[in-house]
Structure 1
């Protein structure tokens, strides 16, 4: 049973990352509900509510674990025996163990912080769920970041290292959308709401299913975030690795639809900016690279619905198509981030996409981080604590027109280290990414 000591330990284990008092929006919602109830029975005790919520989370996790295991065996029938993915699998397991001290602390906050609204349903598919990370106080509408995690488009995978579900069962507590917990909790500290979307992966679905799920999730947030204290006019999209690719497909597809006058459930005009972290935007040029990295051609083409579909799901190619000429003008400000030491997706992927976007008339820029790998910017650097360039850039960009928020950001203390430097360095050395 969760008690008050558990609440306090959230702060002691991970200071300033996530605190537990309910938001004012949540309190107001509870008051309104009590006001319209016909009976005057007292609400269930807080401990009981949280215990029931945790029980639901555990049940949902168990169901997903069963599904994950089933799909993993299905996936193995595609993989067969290959030394590339097996060696990367072993490397991923060791990599995860080295970073486990940080993962466990973030997982604790993910499950026990009242700032996290877990598994909100946004569609009719089993994985059409999202997590919301809310600031402690919501006294005015807050900016919103919709974040889509990576994973090589494959079920239970972590970046280009193939299936984490096979390599380390303890990572199941942070699978799928929960990989965005670290980012979500940290941005929530700066008064930014974060929505982390889950979506179908291969072999549960192919690329068109992923794009459909993410677009539906974006639509849900755009149309419902005001109920949670978010500002529907200040929404930002952010994706990492495969998530950056999927989200860019969604954004470009939506811009094309609007340029043709088609009916849409959400508008590109609602998006203030798109942040793409270590993404690939021209699939045709990456097939051989992925094959050499262990994501074999046969599997990759199965994920992408065949070689003929690669141009359709390559935003770089779509934006150059004559039928999409007007789409570029509808795109929001696009900012791509990439490390020079990224072995999973080469830096040229972001460079070329930015050039294409600019030539088409879109506002785009590329920020290059010297010596950073595929996961440094997203995992190792945040786990290291202190102040990091990517995080500070995001916060400054989102708060650019809010002087009060900028002043508060300037006074924010450095974040606490979650993993010893030695473990971070060892993890980087053996990283399969």
Structure 2
């Protein structure tokens, strides 16, 4: 037993040394060659996913056709993507890769407008904050996907914090929710240093990020209600000793964009598109219901504490496009019905005709129509926000509108 223990200790020491050397080398790479290092990490992650997860993926002929359309879509928008990437890596207003927790990929980006710099020096008021959780099918997400939103919100004097989290297979959905919870706690603790106003913050997520954000919101308010105080982790996390870190009621609002809120109902839709949902069982440890925020509203624990839990929730705005092919529009409408049945009154269901899964976050902002910003500004600034939008300098489209329109039709999303 002693020899086994010493061997285990020796192996742990070697692993810890290797991890420390790896982190130091990665930090050096990000400081000196951020673009190369980021894309090298993407390559390593892709190889790891392919090797470890080849037996998790099952594709039909329909999925192959969708994959071909995705390639054409990416090529059509590639020049615009490159423009965004260059700004993301070189704009000094973006504080990239700030660590908020000990786990892999627990980093965040902070987009700091000039108004926040004045607030840091005590020469102006603290500015509103948006905490954004990107999508990526729980597999290919990256905090950099928030770049278009963060850059545009800086024009209106708003700080954006893009939170990263572990992707599958490096983490399962409960791990992702735990990561986001830690990131949100970090923001509440530290954003004032960057000129942010903790009294004027909202949480938002898109696609998988909307699912994870909604899960965090409901799990957190349920924990607060059941324990009679504040919390900083989800139901699946170990109870925190520091229960006072933040409360969901401290957010001005939650904005969910095109979220898949019930994974059980989503599975047949994915199968109909040739994307057989076997992998979903692995990323949820075969607990689709337990990893679906809509299903949480049916649990015994929720029904026991729902009156207190609902009283803690901030206003909720669910946005979805009728032309969304990746996550059907009923995902948001069904979730809204469940929330209303639970007693949530301050809820807006915003369904838009002609909009796809990616329009609010890719094609729309590229053509300088950003539904996200149109929703966010009135929440943060109240009356007069529309005037800010109208008075803002008109920006030219990032890429020809006709190409953006065709790309929207080609998109498999």
- The alignment's TM-score, normalised by the length of structure 1, stands at 0.78
Aligned residues: 360
Which residue of 59, 73, 85 corresponds with 1:107? 85
Superposed, 1:149-228 pairs within 5 Å as: 149-154=134-139, 156=140, 176-228=142-194
Per-residue Cα deviation, 1:350-389 (whole angstroms, up to 9, x for no partner): 111112212222221111111111111211111112x444
C-alpha displacement of 1:112: 0.8
Residue 412 of structure 2 aligns to a residue whose secondary structure is coil
Residue 275 of structure 1 aligns to a residue whose secondary structure is strand
Q: Distance in 2 between matches of 1:64 and 1:348?
A: 33
Per the alignment, residue 429 of structure 1 pairs with 409
Does residue 135 in structure 1 map to residue 113 in structure 2?
A: yes
Per the alignment, residue 361 of structure 1 pairs with 343
Per the alignment, residue 258 of structure 2 pairs with 278
User: Does the CA-based 8 Å contact 1:54-1:111 persist in structure 2?
Assistant: no
Does residue 334 in structure 1 map to residue 334 in structure 2?
A: no
C-alpha displacement of 1:270: 1.6
Q: Distance in 2 between matches of 1:151 and 1:295?
A: 15
User: Does the CA-based 8 Å contact 2:58-2:276 persist in structure 1?
Assistant: no
Unaligned runs of 5+ residues in structure 2 are 1-28, 119-124, 233-245
Per the alignment, residue 241 of structure 2 pairs with none
- The alignment's TM-score, normalised by the length of structure 2, stands at 0.82
Q: Distance in 1 between matches of 2:203 and 2:31?
A: 28
Unaligned runs of 5+ residues in structure 1 are 1-50, 157-174
Which residue of 264, 268, 274 corresponds with 2:231? 264
Per the alignment, residue 350 of structure 1 pairs with 332
Per the alignment, residue 304 of structure 2 pairs with 323
User: Does the CA-based 8 Å contact 1:222-1:235 persist in structure 2?
Assistant: no
User: Does the CA-based 8 Å contact 1:278-1:338 persist in structure 2?
Assistant: yes
Per-residue Cα deviation, 1:218-272 (whole angstroms, up to 9, x for no partner): 1111111111111111111111111100110001000000001265232112211
Which residue of 394, 404, 421 corresponds with 2:376? 394
Q: Distance in 2 between matches of 1:409 and 1:426?
A: 27
Per-residue Cα deviation, 1:261-309 (whole angstroms, up to 9, x for no partner): 2652321122110000011212221111122234322111111210xx2
**1:319/1:52 CA distance change after superposition, 3 Å:** closer
Per the alignment, residue 24 of structure 2 pairs with none
User: Does the CA-based 8 Å contact 1:278-1:337 persist in structure 2?
Assistant: yes
Per-residue Cα deviation, 1:185-239 (whole angstroms, up to 9, x for no partner): 1111111111111111111111111111111111111111111111111111111
**1:72/1:148 CA distance change after superposition, 3 Å:** farther
**1:106/1:83 CA distance change after superposition, 3 Å:** same
Q: Distance in 2 between matches of 1:136 and 1:72?
A: 43
C-alpha displacement of 1:134: 1.1
